Amino acid sequence: MAKLIHTMIRVRDLDASLRFYDEVLGLKPAHTLDFPDFALVYLRNAENDAELELTLNKGREEPYTHGDGYGHVAAVVDDVAATHAALTAAGYGPLPVKEFRVGEELLARFFFIQDPDGYKIEVLERHGHYR
């Protein structure tokens, strides 16, 4: 059986991306590979087996296009409102908190935020299916 180990995204400003993923999701470098033309930095925290791989292609100036296939990366937190307030205060500009409900039943409470390269991240409250 296969095990998901990482998801890769390309970034233009590695320092800005490292700061963003640390401050927003608590992900820190676990492994770094630095080559003449590119660098790979694998991020994780104690809650994760899988890693987020940041790929920096050195010398790239133009933004990456996300096409129409990329959707988002999702993470869970204990308190969406508190996380949203902290990220707003830090100047990250998350979108408003939303809820999915079926009748009165709460299915999900979440918001979206974008990283320095425009990748969307869904931040969900730990609840129901989202653990």
Annotation says 23 is catalytic: no
Q: Are residues 79 and 55 in the same domain?
A: no
Q: If you search the block for the tokens 């205060």, which residue do you land on? A: 89
Q: Is the pLDDT score of 22 beyond 80?
A: yes
pLDDT digits (tens, 9 = 90+) for 31-68: 999 999 999 999 999 998 899 999 999 999 999 998 88
This prediction's pTM? 0.90
Kindly report the CATH number assigned to the domain that includes residue 18. Answer: 3.10.180.10
Residue 118 belongs to what domain range?
A: 70-131
Mean pLDDT of the residues in the chain: 95
Positions of E strands within the chain: 6-11, 28-34, 38-44, 51-57, 73-77, 98-102, 105-114, 120-125
Q: Which residues on adjacent β-strands are paired with residue 116? A: none
Last residue of a domain, one of 12, 40, 61: 61
Q: Which of 61, 62, 122, 125 does the annotation list as catalytic?
A: 122
Counting the structural domains of the chain, the total is 2
